[in-house]
Structure formats: C-alpha cells, structure tokens
Amino acid sequence: MKTFLVANPKGGSGKSTLATHLAAHFAHAGQQVMLGDIDRQHSAREWLASRPAHLPAIATWNIGHDHIARPPRGASHVVLDTPAGLRGKMLDKVLKLSARVIVPVQPSIFDMRATRVFLDALLAEKAVRKGRADVAVIGMRVDPRTRAAAELERFLDSFQLPVLAYLRDTQRYVQAAAGGLTLFDLPPGQSERDREQWQPIIAWAEAAD
C-alpha cells in the first residue's frame, strides 16, 4: 500500500485541493484509493460526500467496533489530508505511514514563514533523515507574472527539495470542488492546461516505492 501525506501547518495552503486531486487521479487509473481526512475541518470528507456516484470510487476510513480508523481492505493507495498546525507526535505518527510527503505553499510572506519552520522540522524527522519518506514541494495559486511568484521561487530554491510544479491561480479548482469533482473528472477540453501542470506531480507520485 502506497501512502501519501499532504501537509503544511498553514491553513488555506491548498492541502485539500492537492489531496483530492491526487486521490482522483489514482482512482481514474484504476487503483483502490482511500482519501483519509485527519483535518478537524473535514474538508476532504465533505468533498467525498458530494462526489457523484458515477465517478471512479474513492473510499474513506473504515471505523471498526474498536473505534479505530483504518484503511479499507484492499486499498492500494492512501492519500492523507492533514490539519493546520501538524507537528510533534502526530507528525511523527503519520510520517511513519507515508512513503511520500507533499508540502503545498502559496506565494505570501505569511505562508512562506510558516512553511520554513515546518520544513525545518520535517527535514529533522527521523523518517525523512533516514530516507523512508521523500519530501517534495508544490507552489499553489501562483501567477508567474507577479513579484510574489518570484519571491516564492527564491524561497523554495533555498531548500534542497524537489519543486514539482507551480499551479496557477484559477477558479477552475474552486468550481470543480463545489461539485465533488477535480480537474481529472472534467472533460479534457475544460482542464487541459491545468492537467499539464499536474504531469510532474503525477510522475513523482507514481514513482513511489
């Protein structure tokens, strides 16, 4: 089972957008996918509840009689959407489950400051230091014409981490999410440009051991 952790301590950084899209991609590829929501806001769980039934299925946690949440039997890919402020014992716990960690960050000074502290803590975690969990970064809601975009690029260059993509700022993500959809659920003609930006992310995710 391949487990992907989407994490950033800053609320509104784009974690749920990344998590739902990654889960939908794997579902369309024929994988048995679970989208695990450990965020108290339950954004991903609410999105799943609104997902049209005719689309490729994405499961959520199985809650047994012992009240412990577990991936459903047969799940091949697990995507974990995490809460703001993830740190300490909880961060250590979810890292032990994860082969790949994706950190979204937006081009604002507040996001970059919060992400710097988080990345420093993340890179110090044993699972990352020992190479058991690979970390990559994605720029979210980026307009390449702006000074903020250039500052974000300089900020990310200061870490020795792969930057998989800079996803553009578009309402298409918001509009799709409102209907329980992702770009991968839309007709290609409506989402081709944005799907192209996802190709490096997909290639990195599919290369996970």
**3-state SS, residue 69:** strand
pLDDT band at 73 (very low <50, low <70, confident <90, very high): confident
For 9-25, the pLDDT digits (tens) are 888 899 999 999 999 99
Q: Quote the pLDDT of residue 179.
A: 93
Q: Quote the pLDDT of residue 208.
A: 72
Q: Which of 49, 38, 48 is nearest to 15 (CA)?
A: 38
Structure tokens at 111: 């996001």
Contact in structure between 43 and 68 (CB atoms under 8 Å): no
For 34-48, the pLDDT digits (tens) are 998 776 666 788 899
What does the pLDDT average to over 54-63? 84
Q: Which of 111, 164, 154 is nearest to 134 (CA)?
A: 164
Where is pLDDT greater, at 42 or 124?
124
The pTM of the whole model exceeds 0.85: yes
Q: Quote the pLDDT of residue 33.
A: 94
The secondary structure of residue 160, as a DSSP letter, is: S
pLDDT band at 62 (very low <50, low <70, confident <90, very high): low
Contact in structure between 13 and 105 (CB atoms under 8 Å): yes
Residue where the block lists tokens 């720029």 = 139
**3-state SS, residue 77:** strand
Q: Quote the pLDDT of residue 63.
A: 57
Domain boundaries, the chain: 2-206
Q: How far apart are CA 166 and CA 198, in angstroms?
A: 9
Q: Quote the pLDDT of residue 67.
A: 47
Residue length, the chain?
209
Structure tokens at 45: 């769980």
pLDDT band at 209 (very low <50, low <70, confident <90, very high): low
For 166-201, the pLDDT digits (tens) are 999 999 999 999 999 999 999 988 899 999 999 999
For 74-105, the pLDDT digits (tens) are 889 999 988 777 778 888 888 888 889 999 99
- If one looks up domain 2-206 in CATH, what number appears? 3.40.50.300
Share of the chain above pLDDT 90, in %: 56
Contact in structure between 109 and 147 (CB atoms under 8 Å): no
Answer positive or negative: Cα dihedral of 181, 184, 187, 190.
Answer: positive
